[in-house]
Amino acid sequence: MPLSQWLQLLALAVIWGSSYMLLGLALRELPPLTIVMLRLGIAALVMVAVVQALRLAWPVSFRAWLPFLVMGLFNNVIPFTAIGYGQLEIASGLTSVIVATTPLWTLLLSRAFVAGTRIGGLQVAGILFGIVGVCVLFGPEILAGKRTTLFGMMLVLSAAVSYGCAGAWGGRLRAVPPMVSTGCQLICSALVMAAVAVAVDKPWTLAMPGGTTVFAVLVLAVISTALAYVVFYRVLAASGGTNAMLVTLMMPPISIWLGIVVLDETFTMRYALGAVIIAAGLLVIDGRMPRAMARRMAGS
């Protein structure tokens, strides 16, 4: 990739990597469902303005909106909610490491449900690396019986699986302009979360949050959601899905550092080991590094 695309990829990693820290700040004063409702609602308004400014056409029938509803559930409602509740129990840095397993689930689910998807030897090896990394993260909590920590980790893992479902489902929306697709799924997600949060949290009964929380929610909505989608689709269009996947390798170090500096979290060596193993699995799935090493060995 040229330098400009690497810079976009780095910007996306910073945007998404910092979202876990911002969520940690917001969770100090607001419940998860209300945060997700505000995040999706504000992001949807931003994307509606963008689509209108670009004079793009919206879907005109209820049936045409259904695929975006499904995408919104898998890509926003379920993972955002699961991560919100999960981060009540575990650190934001650990959350980002678990979410980094998303490409593994995308690959497995695509193989199971998307016709024509095949898994080669390198991908199988990468998946096995990822499974070992997850075991390193989860094993001690299971053995020690730390139910609350384990519950939080399982919630975040379910978010990664949901993202994987979104990746497998997203192929149905390839013909739709990215800005329209983003706007539609955010509108659907925002409506679902508004109904859920109003029924469960009753946001009007909550105390008015402070400036830090308001800032965190606004950045989550405008930067980490609306802008992040725009940057992601630019990277995807210019560099392809394989290069766009590299963002999952770049996010955890940023999230871990911000969690330590801003949220005063601790990050153990076991979490670092799990992150390295998962990253190794993603690199194997990517394939370029193993092939480069094989060519170098053959040349020598």
pLDDT digits (tens, 9 = 90+) for 53-105: 999 999 999 899 999 999 999 999 999 999 999 999 999 989 998 998 888 88
78 compared with 118, residue with greater pLDDT: 78
Name the one residue in this structure whose structure tokens are 């697709």. 181
pLDDT 10s digits, 129-181: 888 888 888 877 777 777 888 899 999 999 999 998 988 888 788 888 889 99
What is the reported pLDDT for 29? 97
According to the model, what pLDDT value does residue 129 have?
A: 80
Q: What is the pTM of this model?
A: 0.88
In the chain, what are the domain boundaries?
3-299
pLDDT digits (tens, 9 = 90+) for 224-233: 999 998 888 8
Report the percentage of the chain scoring pLDDT > 70: 90
C-alpha angle with apex 114: 173 to 86, nearest 5 degrees?
75
The closest alpha carbon to 104, from 135, 133, 130, belongs to 130
Integer Cα distance of 112 and 71 in angstroms:
18
Greater model confidence, 5 or 182: 182
For residue 242, the model assigns a pLDDT of: 61
- Per-residue pLDDT at 273: 87
Q: Of all residues in the chain, what percent carry a pLDDT higher than 90?
A: 50
